[in-house]
Amino acid sequence: MISLSALHVEHPEWRPLLAVIDEALREDDDPHWAGFVPALRHAGAGGRPLLDGAVIEAAPKFIARWTRRILKVAAAAGTEVSALTKAITTGSIDPLLVFEIAVSQDVHRLDELARLVRDDRGVIHGLAPLIARPMLQACRRKWADRVPADWAEGRCPICGGAPALEELRGLDGSRHLRCGGCGGEWGSAWLRCPFCGETDHEQLGSLMSPDSLERQTVEVCESCRGYVKTITTLTPIPPRDVVVFDLATLVLDLAALERGYCRPATRRRGVAVNVVAEPSWLRDLIGLRP
Ligand SMILES: [Zn+2]
Ligand SMILES: [Zn+2]
């Protein structure tokens, strides 16, 4: 079984990343996040993730505290986050906006934010999934049983994230794509590319020999050049651990990238989501709200 503490031992050089993942995993347990899960606005028909179009009402102070905390942990572990931290502490960027962009997983909005705070090292793109994570996990806990049974997209039916990996699960080897952000899962089909729908077996392949005893392979599609890591499991990977399995199989990503395949996360479009300050009885009381 793969665990975060095992990764700490095996890869001490990953400490800056593991420290923030540790913090984000701990944050999953804070019950406040469940209170911010928005009402569902649609049933996920037509390949629309459940989070798309949502309005999240969150407590600004709580979100600001969480954002500052993860930046502090990142800084303590040696990641250069001073530009974003400064932008937040001086008030030039609203933490709610940073949080909204992180939850949207929209690459274009993340690029814009990175430009705004002059982050040219990809720090924001790296931290955003962890800033969004506790919110996405809370949505999955509430919405997992609302996922359309016929969902066949290459992105998560709950949060719209790209799949971190695919499980070949149990004795029958049923296929399940897993989301690293929210921990969600959805079914996929043998010999069908989840990203572009290609079904021509000539265009679909595997980077490792199919008859090897390897429990891990990479499935690739020549039509869209996308890839997905496939892991054989007996039982489902617990939702909170998908990110750990994703990290532990980094060598598979490198094998695919080296051969010119890409993880579709780099071109995904994210979801439209608004994060607004939750109505406060205190503000109502002192007449700050109409
Ligand atoms: Zn998801
Ligand atoms: Zn494809």
> Tens digit of pLDDT for each residue in 153-194?
999 999 999 999 999 999 999 999 999 999 999 999 989 999
Q: Looking at residue 285, what is its pLDDT?
A: 65
d(CA 181, CA 157): 12
Tell me if 176 sits within 8 A of 237, measured CB to CB.
no
The number of the ligand nearest the C-alpha atom of 243 reads 1
Question: Using one digit for the tens of pLDDT, what is the confidence trace for 84-118?
Answer: 999 998 989 999 999 999 999 999 999 999 999 88
Q: How far apart are CA 100 and CA 90, in angstroms?
A: 19
Q: In this predicted structure, what is the pLDDT of residue 3? A: 85
Written as six digits, the tokens of 219 are 């499935």
pTM to 2 decimal places: 0.92
Q: How far is the CA of 51 from the centre of ligand 1 (A)?
A: 9
Using the predicted structure, report yes or no on whether residue 289 has a pLDDT greater than 60: no
Task: Locate 201 and state its tokens.
Answer: 């077996």
Ligand nearest to the CA of 135: 1
- How much distance in Å is there from the Cα of 236 to the middle of ligand 2? 25
What spacing in Å lies between the alpha carbon of 239 and ligand 1's midpoint?
Answer: 10
